[in-house]
Structure 1
Amino acid sequence: MATGSARRAPVDPRLLRLAPPVRRLILRAGAAQALTTVLVLARGVLLGWGAAELIVERALPGWVLPALLAVVLAHGGVAWVAQRWSAEGVGATVDTLRSAALQALRHRDPRAVQEQSGHWRTVLTSGLDDFRPYLSEFLPALVAVVLATPAALAVVFWADPVSGFLALVTLPLIPVFMILIGTLTRAHTERRLRITAALGGQLADLLSGALTLRALGNTAGPAREVEAAGRRHANATMSVLKLAFLSSFALEFIATLSVALVAVGIGLRLLDGGLTLAAGLIALIIIPEVYNPVRQVGTSFHAAVDGLAAVEEVLELVDAPSPTPFLPERVPGVGLRIEDLSVRGRDGVTPHGLSFDAAPGEVTVLHGPNGSGKSTVFLAALGVLPAGLVEGRIEAPASELISFLPARPVLVPGTVATNLALLGAPPTDTGVDIGVPLDREIGAHGAGVSAGQGQRLAVSRTLARGSGEPHLLLLDEPTAHLNAELVIELGRLLRDRAAAGDTVVVASHDPRILDIADQVVTL
């Protein structure tokens, strides 16, 4: 959990500690900003002094224009280098945060992660993408406040102490209004992130069950739910946009009014002869550089506030201690023994006091309704559940001798062949007809193949990893989306694998799979 000081700090200390590219990004931004500040102030002094000389003396020293041209070209070069450094640092930071979050999620209870999959999908994709303006705009603006604003204020004081005093008095008004508006914006942004995550998860669930809903003739209800969720998302987004426009107007108005106040003072003192033209022009040209960095901090902060809400969740996830996993006892062979297994979860203890032996050469089927703990048994045998949730004893073979088919297999963009080899085994003839050519392209979320073809692909690659030597096959609902003929063929294939020496454990409530079982364990 983030501390109060971490939330109030412009740069979260955890970000510097957990994402090393941020430190390099800030150092590079500081170096670029220091050079930019010197060049901008030099340009302002040259313009002001040169214009005064041209007006008063009717002549301009020959070195002024070449010097001004050199300053402008150098400024452009520094800006290009700073932009390049920023692009590299921002990409590296976002990639580091995303990788660290995925690594942290690997050590959490996979059941809880699955329940929040829509939320984390939103946070790790669009949420972290919204964090880019914070890195590319807010952090450089923050560095500019530290370096450019004091330097510009010092030059204004040198040219015209009165203007410097006016700037010093009006400058704190911008951060005061920025803090007031930012406090209100944070709550609206966090609400928008929650609504967006819920909408993403809801749409994913509806799309996965669209064919079933259509077959049942129940499409009107989900359509109304999606429409209502869309309205909530639109209202939350508009509330954030209204606050963003309000903050931009307030910051621009205060900065413009402050510059105008200084300009009026300079003009009046030029009229009564209390200020030289060169000093007045230099102060007038430099004075916007006193306010611009502070104003840019406010503007860029509100542009990045969506990403801040997402990255705070990522930092809390990554910074939290990882739970110790429950590891089964590794034994020779490929058999699986469960003794008095109980696993706590959100819905209670499932399974509770489960015991069974799955021996090589046999097909064991875990049978029971949804929520009875069939998938949880597999997760415990794989050693991915937190130790504090698991009680009992498990004897299982080494992890390289376990081949696991999850209830929701993952397909990645690429070809069918690359997806077959995803688990490290080359595509082989496992006896499963995938129904599509190996060079068929698969898009995001399994686009390009049907649900049945995707299931056959996942079964095939799971069996391919377990071919060649005896394995423990853990198959979670392998008959999902398969027609009757394919289920019969899969049953025969599993019997053949058991006869070849594999230990086959299947979680299913398909009666056709129960018919091939040597042992049925009811949960």
Structure 2
Amino acid sequence: MKPLDPRLLRYARSTRAYLAVTVALGVTLAALIVAQATLLADGITAVFLHGATAASLLPTLGWLAVVVAGRGFVAWAQEVMAARSAAGVKSELRRKVLARLAEIGPRDRQPTGAVLTLVTRGLDALDAYFARYLPQLVLAALVPAIVLARLLPADLVATGTIALTLPLIPVFMALVGLHTEAANRRQFRLLSRLSHHFLDVVAGLPTLKLFGRARAQAGTIRRISAEQRRLTMRTLRTAFLSSLVLELLATLSVALVAVGIGLRLVSGHLDLATALLVLILAPEAYLPLRQVGANYHASAEGLAAAEEAFAILERPVPAAGTGPAPTGTIAFEDVVVRYRDADALRLSALIQPGEVVALTGPSGCGKSTALDVLLGFATPDSGRVTVGGVPLSGVDLERWRRRIAWVPQRPYLFAGTVAENVALGAPGDVTEALRNAGADTFVTDPGMPLGDDGSGLSAGQRQRIALARAFHRDAPIVLLDEPTANLDADTADGVMAAIRRLAAGRTVVVAAHRPELIALADREISLAPAVVA
């Protein structure tokens, strides 16, 4: 990532205002540094060379107090603005990343663990970038230039020495930064991998315990965690060593300036006021560059996360149609959907209005992908899908999806009441929908609270809540993805009875394995296995 990536200005507009304020504060701080050095040099010279009294120094001391207070105020203002800007940028990037992931759809979506790491800890690490790195970067561009401009008429030799040694620090920073940036990217990717794997293990822990594989997965997590720890310590070691190099380089540069000043002062070629001014301002010229190097490592994780966010935001999404939602026959016309090196779906079929169709075939043949294509979550690589002769690619997907009720294989239930989970914001009473779905046998009150992901409910009960959603939506098209998977025979019978009621007068497309579920359909469409290129 560049020192100030222009994509930050494009995707996080609040960065622009913060950058403008930071530049203004940087100019003010640089001016105050020069004023403080001038006042100190003049005051010390007045005391040692001219015997100035405390009374005669009161104006100088008063202005010095004002300058010091001004520097404190500018530092405080930078901290406040940095905190506000960081919060605004993180919130803006999170909203845009999640919105883009929703537009991309499930086919090309990143692993859940990686997304969670990015939008939580990853973007939170931008605090160090805005609070420490970016202000110092602005000061590194402004303070040395203003200090050199002040010293140029006072002492040409010292100005030349500082001007020649200042570029050495950015050169070493760039060399160290190239190594550190790559290491931090590896560290962030490993953290995302660890988070995703841990999330999968937690979600599948009952199954792992059932088949005795929990200990093996615990060993995998320990191995990835140890690798993450080693990489983190290696990155920290690089950060400490680079800080040592920059501090040593800046110290030697200041010492070089001080030696020259001392020799010329002793020989009488330089006056005390100028010597003091140079000695006070020289460290100030190097300080912002040293701070940039020191704070870069603290912000590197945030920069790596921002790169991941930009990669998501720059991923192309299918062009959205604008036409109204059509009605009529659904036609798959030589549709091919590819994923990596395999055909995830190859399908040519017609689905008439009011027809119940079962998509069958072995696992991986594209049954769920066919439903994703109808939902607009996947785009055919070749061929097209039409509804009533109208290509789905030219249809407004939001309007089209209002005509669809979708019941996934494992529906997600939110923390809230049963009624809220069934209605999903749509108006109306959910009691009849619960009764039609057979959920009234365990839901005594629609206001009954549910835990996150329906904790406390069985798989069959969650599936009936999802069917109640479809009844409440009352859409003319219903898509069902293996609605009886992982259910025992009695529970599956109850779910299929609810599906019979749901299918009345609607077009239903169901991905099915069970013969009993296939028997509910008017006809069967068999999909061929995936073909690897």
Please state which band the TM-score falls in when normalised by the shorter chain: 0.7 to 0.9
Find the counterpart in structure 2 of residue 452 from structure 1: 459
Q: Deviations over 1:9-61 (max 9, x none)?
A: 43233333333222222111111111122122212222232233233414242
Q: Deviations over 1:151-191 (max 9, x none)?
A: 12223344444332322222111111111111112222222
Q: TM-score, normalised by structure 2?
A: 0.84
Q: TM-score, normalised by structure 1?
A: 0.86
Alignment of 1:95-494 (within 5 A): 95-108=91-104, 110-113=106-109, 116-324=111-319, 330-332=325-327, 336-346=330-340, 348-357=342-351, 359-360=353-354, 363-395=356-388, 398-411=400-413, 418-422=420-424, 424-425=426-427, 428-429=430-431, 430-431=433-434, 432=439, 438=447, 440=449, 442=451, 446=453, 449=456, 452=459, 455-456=462-463, 459=466, 462-463=469-470, 465-467=472-474, 470-480=475-485, 482=487, 484-494=489-499
Provide structure 2 residue ranges, at least 5 long, that are not aligned to the other structure.
393-398, 528-533
Letter paired with 1:247: S
> Do the aligned partners of residues 364 and 322 (structure 1) sit closer, same or farther apart at CA in structure 2, a change above 3 Å counting?
closer
Partners of 1:329 and 1:394 within 8 A in 2: no
Deviation at 1:291, TM superposition (A): 0.6
Q: Deviations over 1:245-271 (max 9, x none)?
A: 111111111112222332343344444
Q: Deviations over 1:267-306 (max 9, x none)?
A: 4444444433332222222222101111122222222222
**C-alpha distance in 1, partners of 2:514/2:182?**
48
Moved more, 21-30 or 339-348: 339-348
Find the counterpart in structure 1 of residue 79 from structure 2: 83
Partners of 2:413 and 2:454 within 8 A in 1: no
Find the counterpart in structure 2 of residue 496 from structure 1: 501
Q: Deviations over 1:282-337 (max 9, x none)?
A: 2222222101111122222222222323322332443354333699994336x745
Deviation at 1:371, TM superposition (A): 1.3
Is 1:506 aligned to residue 510 of structure 2? yes
Instruction: Provide the identity percentage.
Output: 35
Partners of 2:333 and 2:349 within 8 A in 1: yes
SS at match of 2:364: coil
Deviation at 1:242, TM superposition (A): 1.6
> Do the aligned partners of residues 481 and 275 (structure 1) sit closer, same or farther apart at CA in structure 2, a change above 3 Å counting?
farther
Find the counterpart in structure 2 of residue 4 from structure 1: none
Deviation at 1:354, TM superposition (A): 3.8
SS at match of 1:473: strand
Letter paired with 1:505: V
Partners of 1:367 and 1:522 within 8 A in 2: yes
Deviation at 1:113, TM superposition (A): 1.3
Q: Deviations over 1:124-146 (max 9, x none)?
A: 43332223323332222221122
Aligned-residue RMSD, C-alpha: 3.2
Deviation at 1:380, TM superposition (A): 0.9
Moved more, 344-353 or 200-209: 344-353
**C-alpha distance in 2, partners of 1:46/1:447?**
69
**C-alpha distance in 2, partners of 1:473/1:515?**
17
**C-alpha distance in 1, partners of 2:454/2:523?**
37
**C-alpha distance in 1, partners of 2:500/2:250?**
78
Letter paired with 2:513: H
**C-alpha distance in 1, partners of 2:24/2:207?**
59
